Amino acid sequence: MKTYTITVNGTAYDVTVEEGTGSAAPTAPKAAPKAAPKAAPKAAPKAAGAGSVKVEASVPGKVLKIEASVGQSVKAGDNIIILEAMKMEIPVVAPQDGTVASIDVAVGAAVENGDVLATMN
């Protein structure tokens, strides 16, 4: 069994997934809400265009959609990228207000937990 933490619309969920080798139909994982983690403190700004805040994947999956573009102003909680993981669409959101400095993945790319998907100023 593997446990992942997924944040959906600001609420964090622990999801436990059983991995098997049988051909039985998969069952939906049970999720229990837990307190959302405190927002990380804002990083000190770097040189213009360098991207001071990393937007990372919280679960392994595949990039389904890219919702923001480089140079776009976003508010905290706005969708940046949508991942497909565990047969669900998982939004990866802006951790703070800012501007998208780079998008570091393409639609269809496989990502792992912690991979940098985008950076923000």
Kindly report, residue by residue over 50-60, the tens digit of the pLDDT.
Answer: 558 999 998 99
3-state secondary structure the chain: CEEEEEEECCEEEEEEECCCCCCCCCCCCCEEEECCCCCCCCCCCCCCCCCCEEEECCCCEEEEEECCCCCCEECCCCEEEEEEECCEEEEEECCCCEEEEEECCCCCCEECCCCEEEEEC
Average pLDDT of span 32-36:
57
| Angstrom distance (rounded) from CA 76 to CA 51 | 16
Kindly report, residue by residue over 45-93, the tens digit of the pLDDT.
Answer: 444 445 589 999 989 999 999 999 999 999 999 999 999 988 899 999 9
Looking at the DSSP bridge assignments, the partners of residue 99 are: 73
Q: What angle do CA 31, 37, 41 make, to 5 degrees?
A: 155
Higher pLDDT, 73 or 43: 73
| Angstrom distance (rounded) from CA 40 to CA 34 | 17
How high does pLDDT run on average in the chain?
80
| Angstrom distance (rounded) from CA 93 to CA 40 | 13
Q: Letter for the amino acid at 68?
A: A
